[in-house]
Structures are given as C-alpha cells and as structure tokens.
Amino acid sequence: MAQAAKPVYLIGNWKSHKTLTEAEEFVANYSGTSDHVVAICPPLPFLPRMAELLKDKPLLKLGSQDVSQYPYGAYTGEVAIEMIKDFASFVIVGHSERRRYFNETNAAVAAKARQVIDAGLTPIVCVDEPYLESQLAYFEKNEFERMIIAYEPLSAIGSGKPDSPEEADAMAQKIIQLAAADVPVLYGGSVTAENIASFTACSNISGALVGGASLEVDSWTALVSKVS
Ligand code: PGA
C-alpha cells in the first residue's frame, strides 16, 4: 500500500509588521489554494478580525506569534491561551527574537508550549543551533507528538542567506532522532518562493516558517504555489 504523503506546513510569521488595514488588505487579496497546511501569524491584536475575514477562506489558517506561559490571571500585559484559542490553530513559541530580546528561557518556552497543547492547539516550537539539545531536553515524547518544531539557524533569519537544504535536512533528522518521536520539523530562515521547493523536497523537512516572504500577498502566494 502506498504511504500517505506527509503533510507540509507553510507558516508565515508577520512579526511586528503591518497596520490592521494592511492586514485586512492582505486577506482580501489572498486567493491562494494549496493541498497543504497554509497559515499566517499576524500581530496578536489582529487575530479576531483576521479570523472573521478568513471564515470564507478556510485554506488560510491562523497562528499566534506568542502566548503567555500563564493561564488567565493577574499577569498584566500577558495574553493567555484562552484569549487566542478561538481564533488560531497554531502558536509560535520560543522564536529566537523572543529568546534574544525578551530573555525567554527554555523553561518559559516549554511552559508556553504546554499551555498551547493543553488548550488543544499546536505549538510551533522554535529551536536553533548551538542550543538544540538543551532546548529539546525540556519536552517529553508525548509532547513532541503534539507539536511542530521549527529549526531556524540564527545566521539565516532575515539575512538572505538560507541554510543549504542538505544542512537543514541533516538538522531536521537530528531533531527527529533527539525527540524520538514522529514530530514535523520545519525549516526557517530566508525562505523564499525561489528556494522553498528545495527545502520541502528534503525527506526530513515538513515545511517552512517564513518571515519576510510572507509579508506581501504576491510573494506569499508565489511561495505557496511552489509547493505541490
Ligand atoms: P525570514 O524569517 O524568513 O525573514 O528569514 C524567518 C523567521 O524569523 O521565522
């Protein structure tokens, strides 16, 4: 019997870009179709409006760029998973920018991932070299089975210098071995419409986490169309 094709995830991370009007325009102009899982992660305050606009475009899913490590409570300024879960399918946790600029620790990232899993959403846990093993050590097998991991080498993010597909594939294989679970591993770092297919063709890579190339509807549509 033929093996079912692995699902491919194409996740756009808008980071701290766009006004609400620009986000609305993106959705209005997006008409991409795909057999794969395609999602964008807009800034948090836009999630409810994006969810409303995307009701008739189920092929474009939503994710959050972050979440609180705490549930509802006296945590001023935090956004708890309960506030996100009706609007998003995915939550990025531990992006290297969160780790670097907001001092997120491995323990905090793991606590966030657990909030997401417990709420029934899928965390996209970002990891990088040379900290990979210590970052993964915070999770159990049953948690790996409910998450996606994004491997994002620091030198490749926003630099226009992606990892080679061979290196990224070898890292994805290492992550799957360390996790000892069938966890989807995405590659992230300077992914574009021009290079996406070389990553998704790798046997250990299940898609991409995309920053810059997800910002414009044309570049995002082109990227999505390259993955058949
Ligand atoms: P980039 O960002 O695609 O702009 O390199 C990737 C990321 O930070 O997830």
pLDDT single digits (tens) 196-218: 999 999 999 999 999 999 999 99
Query: What is the radius of gyration, based on Cα positions, of the chain?
Result: 16
Q: Compute the average pLDDT of residues 158-165.
A: 96
State in Å: Cα 172 to ligand 1 middle: 17
The Cα-based distances of 142 to 11, 110, 118, 138 in angstroms read 23, 13, 12, 12
CB of 214 sitting under 6 A from ligand 1: no
Q: Which ligand 1 atom lies nearest to the CA of residue 213?
A: 3
CATH code assigned at 48: 3.20.20.70
**95 in catalytic set:** yes
Residue ID of nearest Cα to ligand 1 atom 2: 211
182 inside domain: yes
Q: What are the pLDDT digits (tens) for 127-148? A: 998 899 999 999 999 999 999 9
Q: Compute the average pLDDT of residues 8-29.
A: 97
95, 97, 104, 143: which one is catalytic?
A: 95
Banded model confidence at residue 5, pLDDT cuts 50, 70, 90: confident
2-11, 71-80, 187-196 — which is least confidently predicted?
2-11
State in Å: Cα 183 to ligand 1 middle: 21
Banded model confidence at residue 109, pLDDT cuts 50, 70, 90: very high
CB of 191 sitting under 6 A from ligand 1: yes
With contact defined as beta carbons under 8 Å apart, do 12 and 41 qualify?
yes
Helix, strand or coil, per DSSP, at residue 10? strand
Task: Say how many C-beta atoms besides its own lie within 10 A of residue 193's C-beta.
Answer: 18
Assign residue 178 a region: left if phi > 0, alpha if psi is -120 to 50, beta otherwise? alpha
Q: Report long-range pairs for 104-109 (Cβ below 8 Å, ≥24 apart).
A: 106/131, 106/134, 106/135, 106/137, 106/138, 107/138, 108/69, 109/135, 109/138
Asked whether residue 1 carries a pLDDT value surpassing 50, the answer given is: no
CB of 210 sitting under 6 A from ligand 1: yes
The Cα-based distances of 25 to 19, 154, 185, 219 in angstroms read 10, 31, 31, 14
3 inside domain: no
**36 in catalytic set:** no
Domain that residue 159 falls in: 9-225
Q: Compute the average pLDDT of residues 106-133.
A: 96
4 inside domain: no
107 inside domain: yes
Q: Which ligand 1 atom lies nearest to the CA of residue 158?
A: 5
126 inside domain: yes
97, 104, 143, 152: which one is catalytic?
A: 152
Q: Please tell me what DSSP assigns to residue 4.
A: P
* Mutational pocket test of ligand 1: of 10, 125, 191, 220, the residue with most ligand atoms within 8 Å of the beta carbon: 191
CB of 209 sitting under 6 A from ligand 1: yes
2 inside domain: no
218 inside domain: yes
105 inside domain: yes
Distance CA 211, CA 41 (A): 10
DSSP strands (E only) in the chain: 9-13, 37-41, 60-64, 90-93, 122-127, 148-151, 185-188, 207-210
pTM for this model (two decimals): 0.96
With contact defined as beta carbons under 8 Å apart, do 92 and 209 qualify?
yes
Total domains in the chain come to 1
**In degrees rounded to 5, what are phi and psi of residue 187?**
-105, 140
> For position 4, what pLDDT does the model report?
57
- More confident: 51 or 57: 51
